Amino acid sequence: MLTELILIFCILLFTYILNLPFGILRARAKRFSLKWFLYIHIPIPFIFLLRKLSNLDYKYIPLFVFAAVIGQLMGGKMEF
């Protein structure tokens, strides 16, 4: 049980961190352009693959979606 919680936390953290740079790029792209669309969707296969390889159940998908959205939004707020 504890190892599953640690695994979920690690994947959530990975999802958040992976989406930060894509959020930065998305915020600078023209809204609804191909680049904007790709910056939102490119991280998804990596998160899916990690979830499948870790044998986590489908019930955790909303948590990963939430972490991805927060990563995108926080990345969009960053200024460099």
* Separation of alpha carbons 3 and 55, rounded Å: 13
The pTM of the full predicted model, rounded to 2 decimals, is 0.93
Residue 2 lies in a domain: no
Report the pLDDT value the prediction gives residue 1, as an integer from 0 to 100: 87
Domain extent, residue 37, equals: 11-77
Total domain count, the chain:
1
List per-residue pLDDT tens for the chain, 80 residues long: 899 999 999 999 999 999 999 999 999 999 999 999 999 999 999 999 999 999 999 999 999 999 999 999 999 999 77
- What's the residue count for the chain? 80
Find where tokens 């998908």 sit. Answer: 61
Residue 3 lies in a domain: no
Report the pLDDT value the prediction gives residue 79, as an integer from 0 to 100: 76
Name the residue among 11, 18, 26 with its Cα closest to residue 78.
26
